[in-house]
Amino acid sequence: MRLILLGAPGAGKGTVAKLLTQLDGSVQISTGDILRSAVREGSDLGKKAQGYMTRGELVPDALIMGIMGERLMENDCKSGFLLDGFPRTIPQAEELKILLEKLHITLDFVVNLNVPKNIILDRLTTRRTCSNPECQAIYNIKSMPSKVEGICDKCGSPTIQRDDETEEAITKRLDTFNEQTAPLVDFYNNEGLLLDINATSSDAVVSAIRERLGS
Ligand code: ADP
Ligand code: ZN
């Protein structure tokens, strides 16, 4: 499958993407994960992106398009992909359209994960992420705690709160989303590609996507 996952921070794009990869070998492409690993490695890209990310702002479109232009040409994308956190602005969506045409790739559709704001806020402040870069499993201290508090079930590394998950950065990320990313819902609706889902449970989201795919 070839899908874009849209939704506010904390809407569950990453969780849904991981579930979908298990269905047919499509790969999850998360610009947030790519950027965080660049920051950890201290690469050029990482140095350029770090400040924006910590402040809860978007990284400039040109940097993101550079990453995605290369990523979509890699071999593993041939079996399908789930774009998680990209595109995030109208210019990114327009450039993606041109890029996909050039690569002769057709999207199946674009999923909009609709989650009430109070649930989003609650999820973001209670989210914990495995600190092991190879693992990055996601937990929630209320709804999906690890078996041992603060320790990843999968790999035993400490689970941490991301540094953009302070209350201040979260508020900023939600504002950024409303201003710059929410308009993509109309953009893809006009393209006839939108599937809007009430996304309070990730299993229900996966079922709705499978139904639309006819699988
Ligand atoms: P979330 O969806 O939970 O906010 P992500 O992991 O998708 O978090 O992204 C983390 C940060 O990385 C964003 O706040 C932003 O600074 C940057 N980022 C990720 N994807 C993009 C993108 N497509 N365009 C611009 N910035 C991005
Ligand atoms: Zn882990």
3-state class (DSSP) for residue 83: strand
Query: 123: Cβ below 6 Å to ligand 1?
Result: no
DSSP 75: G
Q: Out of 36, 123, 127, 128, which one is annotated catalytic?
A: 127
Taking the centre of ligand 2 as the mean of its atom positions, its distance from the CA of residue 170, in whole angstroms, is 23
Evaluate: CB of 187 within 6 angstroms of ligand 1: no
Low-confidence ranges of the chain (pLDDT < 70): 215
Cis bond upstream, residue 87 (ω within 30): yes
This prediction has a pTM of 0.88
Q: Domain residue spans in the chain?
A: 2-26+80-213
Rounded to whole angstroms, the Cα distance separating 22 from 142 reads 25
pLDDT of residue 199: 84
2-26+80-213 folds as Rossmann fold (3.40.50)
Q: Where are the alpha helices (DSSP H) in 72-196?
A: 90-102, 117-126, 167-176, 183-190
pLDDT, tens digit, 9 for 90 and up, residues 111-154: 999 998 888 888 888 989 999 988 989 999 998 999 999 999 99
Tell me how far apart the alpha carbons of residues 102 and 22 are, in angstroms, rounded to a whole number.
28
Q: Per the structure block, which two tokens stand in for 137? A: 């499993």
- The whole-number pLDDT of residue 118 equals 85
